[in-house]
Every structure is written in structure tokens, then in C-alpha cells.
Amino acid sequence: MNRLITLSRALPTPAPEITVAYTPIRLPMPGRQPLELRLTAPAVGNDLPVVILLHGFGPSNYIPSKDGYAPLAQFWAERGVAVIQPTQASSRVGGLDPDQPGGPFFWRERVAEVHAILDQLAEIVRQAPAVAGRLDPDRIAVAGHSFGGFTGGLLLGARLQGESFAHPRIRAGILLAAPGRGGADLTPESAARFPFFDVDFSAITIPTLVVIGAQDAPRFTPRGAEWHADAFHDAPGAEALLTIHGVGHGLGGIAGWDARETEVEDPDALEATRRLTLAWLRSALAVAPDAWTESQSALAEHAASIAEIAVRSTASAA
């Protein structure tokens, strides 16, 4: 038992189970080096849901890769989810040369990498024999933090200049401290640097959870933490907004313990983030349909000071 968590202990979650991990799994990519990824999954069980976890563009050398985000990836995997973590094109340690065309952000290449993962699940399983026949190809979600949330939004259906980047196998998504609206909502410098942030969230119809830190202070916009909630307000598929109190962009430490990305290390906030996102995933992917409702009730009754949840109303969804 983790002695550092208190109130978030009241949030229901499955007991942890043994996991297996394979790394590096390598997938061929046209015209470049292979895509490397990590797969972490329960050691037993069948019909496992799959979540592709997309890293951000943070300051650390190794966190933005398949080797980051252990606090989130391991937690989900220990509780019944197969987690795939690619080292994306923008990664410092294993990505493309940032001076190449499209660098250093490689936002199109990042989308293409997730499409490659989804189109080559059979090859991933071949390199990870312990999960052979155990993954459910009809229960796939994408989750992304920060710039990974931008990538995730495109995969969920957000459009950029009318172009769609969605993949038909994705059934649900989680946007963790993802960028909000671009264009006029950015500072002039950021609008020039990130023209690709000017996306249209209104085309996201896939069930989506938006997560923000109440103390987030984005540098790209004159707005505050609420900028990261734009997808909740604009996307018809955004079912809920989870706001974690007392923390900022790192949501208490999802990227890594003692990492530079973790500007506020808060074990209780991190635990709430992990438990509540897992509950939403389990309900959205029909693993445990009541998990999200039960977690909302437990949060309101026992841990309301840690986080709050806003649910999209039927009127706004229409």
C-alpha cells in the first residue's frame, strides 16, 4: 500500500496484477528508421482492451519516448489494460533528426506512427508472444498528454484545415492537458510557431475524456488553465471534463516520478488521475460499464477536494 496517498484511496479501482512488458518492439516505417515501442500488459486474461499512450514534447531526454509515463502506463496495465507506448518522431532520444522537414514537432509523422501501430497489431503481437490471442481489436483507445494530446485529438477526429486524421479502429480517447484552440487564442509568437494548433474539435464524435490541471499555466496563450479544456466544450464526443486540483500540466506526476515534466509532485493528485482515468476507460470500452459512475460518486462523497468532474449535458451534446 502506498502510504503517500490519502483521500484518493476512496476511489474504487481493481487490485494490481502481474504484468509482462516487451521493449523494444520495432515496426517498419517507409523511408525512415523503424518505430520503436513498448508494450505492457497483464500477464493473464483475455479480451484485453488496448490503449495507445502518446508522450508529450517535454524537456527531459527520455520521458518523451517509450520509456516515459511509467506512473500511468504501469498502473493501467496492472489493472487489465494492454498499453502501447511509441517513441514518436519528435522524441529527442529516438525520434527523427529535428532539422528534417517537419521537425522538430513532426505532427504529421506522429499521426502516421499511430496509424502504423493500428495497422500492424499482428506484427506487434508476433514480437510479444505472451499477448498472442489476448488483445481485443475492437476495444482500442488513444490517450495523449500535452503534445501527445494534440496528436490524440487528431486521431479522434479533430480536423485541421478540413483534413481528417482519424483511424476507424479507435473507440475512445483521453486528452490529458492537451492544447486548446489555436489561432487567435494563442499569443502572436505561438500562433506563428504552432499554426497546426488551429484545429476544429467539433468533428470529434468518439467518446472522449478531457483532463486538466487546475493550476496549469500555458505559455502559448494569454488564457489560463481553462484553455486546455477547449476540446470538452467544442467536441460533441467529449463526455466529461476531469479537473485535478492543486496541480498543473504534469497532473501530479503522470510523466514520471521526480521528472522535470512534473512541476508539482503530488501523490494524491497523481493517484486520483490514475484511478479516475482508468475508471473512465473501463466504462468507455465496456470492460466495467459502471466503473465511471461509481468513481464519480466516490469522488463527490469522499475526495471532492482533490478533483471535480463536469459531465456534458444532453442539451450541449445535441
3-state DSSP of 222-259: CCCHHHHHHHHHHCCCEEEEEEECCCCCCCCCCCCCCC
Q: Over 60: is that where the pLDDT of 277 sits?
A: yes
Assign 293 a pLDDT band (cuts: 50, 70, 90). very high
Provide mean pLDDT across the span 131-154.
98
Q: Over 60: is that where the pLDDT of 314 sits?
A: no
Q: Over 80: is that where the pLDDT of 1 sits?
A: no
pLDDT of residue 263: 83
Domain ranges of the chain: 7-317
**Residue 189 burial (CB < 10 Å; 0-12/13-18/19+)?**
exposed
Q: Over 70: is that where the pLDDT of 232 sits?
A: yes
Helix (H) or strand (E) holding 149: helix 147-156
pLDDT of residue 229: 98
d(CA 175, CA 238): 10
Max intra-chain CA distance, the chain: 54
Provide mean pLDDT across the span 226-242.
98
**Residue 124 burial (CB < 10 Å; 0-12/13-18/19+)?**
buried
- Would you say the C-alpha torsion 230, 191, 59, 19 has a positive or negative sign? positive
CATH code of domain 7-317: 3.40.50.1820
Within 266-306, where are the H helices?
267-284, 291-302
Identity of the residue numbered 8: S
pLDDT of residue 213: 98
d(CA 52, CA 54): 6
Count of CA atoms in the C-beta half-sphere (13 A) of 296: 13
φ, ψ (nearest 5 deg) of residue 282: -65, -35
pLDDT of residue 317: 43
Give the N- to C-terminal CA distance of the chain in Å, as an integer.
44
Name, in order, each residue with C-beta under 8 angstroms of 188's C-beta and a sequence gap of 6 or more: none
Provide mean pLDDT across the span 42-69.
95
d(CA 277, CA 211): 9
Provide mean pLDDT across the span 246-256.
95
pLDDT of residue 258: 79
Identity of the residue numbered 235: A
Q: How many of the other CB atoms lie within 10 Å of CB of 313?
A: 8
**161-207 tens-digit pLDDT:** 999 999 999 999 999 999 999 999 999 999 999 999 999 999 999 99
pLDDT of residue 274: 98
pLDDT of residue 23: 97
What residues form DSSP beta bridges with 213?
A: 244
Q: Over 90: is that where the pLDDT of 43 sits?
A: yes
pLDDT of residue 261: 83
Mean pLDDT of the chain: 95
Assign 312 a pLDDT band (cuts: 50, 70, 90). confident
Q: Over 70: is that where the pLDDT of 267 sits?
A: yes
Provide mean pLDDT across the span 231-242.
98
> Which among 291, 317, 296 has a CA at the least distance from the CA of 308?
296
Provide mean pLDDT across the span 225-231.
98
| Contact in structure between 87 and 95 (CB atoms under 8 Å) | yes
Identity of the residue numbered 132: A
